[in-house]
Structures are given as C-alpha cells and as structure tokens.
Amino acid sequence: KTMKHFLLCVCLALAGGAVALPLSQEAQAEAQLFNDFLEAAYAQRAGDPERFELLQRVLEQAPDSAYVKQQLVAEALAADQPKLAQAYIDFIESAQDDPEAWAVYGTYQWQAQQYPQALKAYEKSLELDPDNELILFEYITMLSANKPQQAEKMLMDLAAARPQLAPELYTEIGKMYTFHQQYPKALEFFDKAMALDGSNPQPRLGRAQVYEKTNQYFLMLHELEELEKMGYTTPKTLSQMASVFVLVKDLPRAKHYFLRAKEQENDNIPANYFLALIAEQEEDYNRAIAYLQDSADYTTEPAKQLQVSFYQRKLEREEDSLQTLKNAYKQFPDHNETAYFYGIALYEKEDYKQSARVLLPLLERLPDNNQVRLQYAFALEGQKKYDAMEEQLRILLEKNPRDAAALNLFAYSLALRGERLSEAADYIARALALEPENFSFMDTQAWVFFKQEQLEKAADIVSAIPEELLAANPEMAYHASYIYAALDDTKKAAHYFQMACANRPDKSCHKEAKKFF
C-alpha cells in the first residue's frame, strides 16, 4: 500500500470501529501513525518550523513510505537545504508512476546542479501528466536556464495552442533572454507581447529592465513614464525614475519621485537612502537621520548607522552620536569601519582605556592599516602607556619614516613628559619638513621649544597660528597661555587662558588661571 491509501484505510477503520472496544496493539500503532501524520500535515500547511522533524517521526513508524520520504525531500528543498534531502531521495524507486514525485526528484537534481538528470526527471513527470501546467512551467523554467532556444520553442508552441496566454508567454521569453543577456531577442519578445496586449505592464517593465542593464537610462525613463500614464507605479519603478533624475542632477524631480516611492512603501531602501543624501545637501540633518532610520535595512546595515552618527555630530548631538556608534559596535563588533570610528569617538570623549579595547582587536585584524595603528597609539598615550605607544610608533616609522602624524605624536608625547627633548625636536622638525603648514605640528614645535626654555622661539611659532584656530582648540590655547605666562606677558597669557576656558562649564580651568594671574 502507498502511504496515501494506508491513511485512507486507517481513517475508515477508525471511523467504522466500535469505540467501546479496546484497540489492539497493531491498531494503536496505526492510530498513532495517523495522528502523527495528521500533525505533520497541519504543520506543513501552517508553515510550522517543526514540520520537518514531525515528518521524520512519521517515517520512523513507516520507514518504507515513499510518500513520507517525498514530503521530507520537498520540505528540505523548500528550505534550500538539499543536503537534508539526500537521506530520503530513494523515494523515487517506489514512485515510478507518480508525476508529482518525479517533479520533486527533478527539483532535487536541479538544486544539486545535476542539470541533465533534472531535465530527464521533469520530462518523465510530463510524460505521466502532460496536461499539468505547473509541472510544465517548472520544466520550462529549468530549460530556460541552460537551453533557452528549446524553452523558447516550447513556449511558442504553448502560445500557438493557447492564444489567450500568448502575451504572458512572450513576456516570459523576453525575461529569459534578459537573464541570458541576449537583449535584442528580449526586446523582440517584449514588443510582441505589447503588440498583443498594450495594457499589460509586464512587457514594458521588461523593456525598462533591458534599457537599465544596457545603460540606456533615458529610454528606461520613457518606459517608466508610460507605465505611470497607465496608472502603474511601484516603489521600485518610482525609485528607478528618481535615480535617472539624480544622474542628470535634477534633484527636485528626483526628490519628488523618491517621496512618492516612500509614500507607497515607507521603509523603501533606495528611496530613503537617496532622500537622506538630498537632505544632507540641504543641510537638513534631522530629516536625513529620519530617512535612514526609516529604511528597512537600517538595523542590519552598519554603514547607515555610521552615517546617522555623522549627522548627529553635525547637529552637535555628541552623546547621541556616541550612543549610535556604541549600538552599532555592539551589533557589529567585527565591522571594521564601525570599530574604527567608535574607537575615535571614545578617544575624543577621553575614554582612552575603552578606545584602546575597541581598537586593539581591529588592529589585530588589520595589522597593515597605519591609521588604525596610529589611533591605537593615541589611545595608549592617553592612558600614559608610553612604552607601548612608542612601540606602535616605531612600527609605523619603520614602515614609513615619512609618516608625519606618527612623528608629530612621538614629539608631542615626549614634550608633554619633558623627556628626551632633543629627540622630540628631531621628530617635530621632520614632521614639519613634510607638512610645513600644519598648525597642529606648529603647536607641537612651540611646546617643544617651551620645554627647552626657548621661549621666544615658542612665542614666534604661536603667533603664526590663526586666532580662530586657537579659539577652536582649547589645548593649543592652553599652550599659548603658558608660553606667554613664562614670558611675563600676563595680558596675552590671560587672553589665551580665557580662550581655552570659554567652552568649559566647570570651574577647574579658571582656578588654574588664578595660579598665574
């Protein structure tokens, strides 16, 4: 008996039996098998994740059932796990006259990339059930991947036999040739489909896809505009139209179509992405943030979270920016850019220890990345781990003796400590030779001169740094104030102390100033 017939017999036996009589052991086993199969069938219908395990339980009770094995193979293939199907593929040996079984077997061979066997299985299935349109279309789909001319002939024969289906069949041929990058043939069949049914949007969509793939964007736009006139728009077509206007830098029209795409699908990925970029150009960073956060891939795309962090910084929402980076790093600890920018943000927050903890694994992954190594050295310097910092800087300078940023950090760290000042002077001289107009390097040079008690030279350097830059950099303003204080120029010293303290709400800066003035 097949499993189908067996189950029918069990149902009739249970329905017709006297309920008062105790069931024999065999009947109990049959009833249990029926109940388990029924549970598996309901699980299949409901898409229950446990349906595969439930079918396996049924097979344990009926190990020779080709039907249950066939269902297990079908479920494994539906889950895109053909390896799970291997143990049950012998079901075909007992299902020689079942067209559905041959179709399942053909799908298995297709997923296993055994294309000749797959096509033979489908041909056997159609031989057994030549009027089964579903199996026919599955067969043609397989043919279209490897034998498009043969698939075309079958579809053309079907179109001749069923003229009412011809527009759809011609459209399918066009799609097939688009897949094979035979674009003239694709357009030929899309044109045939449109000639038979001009109200069908699918062949026009096919033409638009061909034009997109061949970089004929204005022809693509024409097709999409015709679809719009027909009342056919989707988030995808609206986004495609908008993208063409982005290419020609017509941002108002691009924005118009992206907004329409977003109206139809609020989390549309391309619409939200480009709307965020347009909002950035308009310096509307709040709206740019909202667009990115609306995007369907925001929680799975670390680059977009980094972009939101960037916009938050533009809005001077430093805490929000840091929190966004923290969340992104927690979710994607192995994403290199996330780790790098989070490490920098922690450094700027003066959380040097945590910055180093974030940057070290990144450096281990990217040992040849000089920027990561330099930033890690900064984090070590912030923790006053000078030996470890110098080790990193020496690695950088061995690779590239002209690494100006590494030379500057080495000089600055030594000057802050008041150690090996001649060595510090050599490093900063080399850095300035490479970048003579770098004001940060000039500040380091001034500080080295200050520590060497060459105060006039230090003041000359400071005087060459623009006031607005000193105002924006409290540390550089501090240096200037100390230099002028050492020169007994209390007026300038007080001016730069005040400048350094301007953006600090705490009183410690002003208390320090009172020591001098």
Q: What is the pLDDT of residues 142-166, one digit of tens each?
A: 777 778 888 888 889 888 988 998 9
Whether 224 contacts 207, CB under 8 Å: no
Residue 211, φ and ψ in degrees, nearest 5: -65, -35
Please determine, for residue 415, whether its predicted confidence score (pLDDT) is greater than 90. yes
Which residue type occupies 271?
Answer: A
In this structure, the chain runs to a length of: 517
Residue 108 CB neighbours (<10 A): 24
**CB-based contacts of 384: which residues, under 8 Å, 6+ apart?**
none
Integer Cα distance of 275 and 245 in angstroms: 13
Q: Average pLDDT, stretch 441-453?
A: 95
User: Taking the C-alpha atoms of 11, 12, 15 and 21 in order, what is their torsion angle to the nearest 10 degrees?
Assistant: -100
Burial of 84 by CB count in 10 Å (0-12 exposed, 13-18 middle, 19+ buried)? middle
Residue 199's pLDDT is 92
Q: Which of 30-39, 124-133, 286-295, 501-510 has the highest mean pLDDT?
A: 286-295
Which conformational region is residue 296 in: left (phi greater than 0), alpha (psi within -120 to 50 degrees), or beta?
alpha
Task: Give 499 or 185, the one with higher predicted confidence.
Answer: 185
Q: Please, which pLDDT band fits residue 514 given cuts at 50, 70 and 90?
A: low
Whether 189 contacts 202, CB under 8 Å: no
Whether 9 contacts 30, CB under 8 Å: no
Please report, rounded to a whole number, the percentage of residues in the chain having pLDDT higher than 90: 60
Q: Average pLDDT, stretch 433-452?
A: 95
Integer Cα distance of 229 and 241 in angstroms: 13
Tokens of 318: 């430093």
Residue 22's pLDDT is 59
Please determine, for residue 357, whether its predicted confidence score (pLDDT) is greater than 60. yes
Residue 513's pLDDT is 56
Q: Average pLDDT, stretch 266-280?
A: 96
CA–CA distance from 176 to each of 108, 141, 410 (Å)?
22, 9, 63
Residue 1's pLDDT is 41
Please determine, for residue 5, whether its predicted confidence score (pLDDT) is greater than 80. no
Please determine, for residue 391, whether its predicted confidence score (pLDDT) is greater than 90. yes
Please determine, for residue 287, whether its predicted confidence score (pLDDT) is greater than 50. yes
Please determine, for residue 13, whether its predicted confidence score (pLDDT) is greater than 50. no
Residue in the block written with tokens 């035979």: 182
Tens of pLDDT, residue by residue over 461-482, are 999 999 999 988 888 999 999 9
Task: Give 147 or 318, the one with higher predicted confidence.
Answer: 318
Whether 499 contacts 513, CB under 8 Å: no
Task: Give 3 or 476, the one with higher predicted confidence.
Answer: 476
Q: Please, which pLDDT band fits residue 23 given cuts at 50, 70 and 90?
A: low
Please determine, for residue 2, whether its predicted confidence score (pLDDT) is greater than 60. no
Integer Cα distance of 203 and 215 in angstroms: 18
Pinpoint the alpha helices (H) of 79-114: 82-85, 99-111
User: Residue 16, CB half-sphere, CA atoms under 13 Å: how many?
Assistant: 6
Residue 20's pLDDT is 47
Please determine, for residue 34, whether its predicted confidence score (pLDDT) is greater than 50. yes
Integer Cα distance of 99 and 92 in angstroms: 10
Which residue type occupies 513?
Answer: A
**CB-based contacts of 2: which residues, under 8 Å, 6+ apart?**
65, 66, 67
Q: Average pLDDT, stretch 235-249?
A: 93
Residue 210's pLDDT is 96
Q: Average pLDDT, stretch 295-300?
A: 96
Residue 82's pLDDT is 83
Residue 505's pLDDT is 54
- How high is the mean pLDDT of the chain? 88
Please determine, for residue 405, whether its predicted confidence score (pLDDT) is greater than 50. yes
Whether 238 contacts 258, CB under 8 Å: yes
Integer Cα distance of 438 and 443 in angstroms: 9
* DSSP code per residue over 376-444: HHHHHHHTT-HHHHHHHHHHHHHH-TT-HHHHHHHHHHHHHHT-SHHHHHHHHHHHHHH-TT-HHHHHH
Residue 64's pLDDT is 86
Whether 510 contacts 486, CB under 8 Å: no
Q: Average pLDDT, stretch 269-283?
A: 95
Q: Average pLDDT, stretch 414-430?
A: 94
Residue 134's pLDDT is 79
Please determine, for residue 335, whether its predicted confidence score (pLDDT) is greater than 90. yes
Q: Average pLDDT, stretch 391-399?
A: 96
Mean pLDDT is lowest, of 60-64, 286-290, 338-342, 370-374, for 60-64
Q: Average pLDDT, stretch 228-234?
A: 93
Whether 513 contacts 501, CB under 8 Å: yes
Please determine, for residue 301, whether its predicted confidence score (pLDDT) is greater than 50. yes
Residue 16's pLDDT is 43
CA–CA distance from 372 to each of 42, 112, 366, 377 (Å)?
55, 44, 8, 9
Please determine, for residue 15, whether its predicted confidence score (pLDDT) is greater than 50. no
Residue 33's pLDDT is 76
Tens of pLDDT, residue by residue over 74-129, are 888 888 888 888 888 898 888 788 888 898 888 888 788 887 888 788 888 888 88
Handedness of CA 62, 67, 73, 75 (dihedral sign): negative
Please determine, for residue 208, whether its predicted confidence score (pLDDT) is greater than 60. yes
Please determine, for residue 3, whether its predicted confidence score (pLDDT) is greater than 60. no
